[in-house]
Amino acid sequence: MLENIPYHVAIIMDGNGRWAVERGLPRAEGHKAGVSNLESIIIAFRNQGVKYLTFYTFSTENWLRPEEEVRALIQLLADSLKANISSLVAEGIRLNHLGRRDRLPSDLIKTLDSTIKATNKNTSITVSIAFDYGGRDEIIYSIQQLASQGADLLNLSEEQISDNLFTNNIPDPDLIIRTGGDMRLSNFLIWQSAYSEFYATDTLWPDFNPEDVNKALEEYSHRERRFGKI
Q: Would you give the distance in Å from CA 205 to the centre of its chain? A: 13
Q: Is the dihedral of CA 78, 85, 178, 133 positive or negative?
A: positive
Q: Are 49 and 5 in contact (CB under 8 A)?
A: yes
Domain ranges in the chain are 8-221
**Domain range 8-221, CATH architecture:** 3-Layer(aba) Sandwich (3.40)
Task: For residue 5, list its beta bridge partners.
Answer: none
User: Would you call 62 a catalytic residue per the annotation?
Assistant: yes
Give per-residue pLDDT as tens, 81-109. 999 999 999 999 999 999 999 999 999 99
pLDDT digits (tens, 9 = 90+) for 199-211: 999 999 999 999 9
Residue among 146, 144, 148, 141 at smallest CA distance from 100: 141
Q: Tell me the pLDDT tens digit for each residue of 1-53.
A: 678 999 999 999 999 999 999 999 999 999 999 999 999 999 999 999 999 99
Check if the beta carbon of residue 135 is closer than 8 Å to that of residue 190: yes
Q: Which position among 14, 132, 172, 174 bears the catalytic label?
A: 14
Average pLDDT rounded to a whole number, residues 142-165: 97
**Whether the model pTM is above 0.75:** yes
Given the residues 62, 187, 209, 214, select the one marked as catalytic: 62
Rounded Cα–Cα distance for residues 111 and 39 (Å): 18
How far apart CA 213 and CA 151 sit, in angstroms, is 42
* Interval 55-75: pLDDT, tens: 999 999 999 999 999 999 999
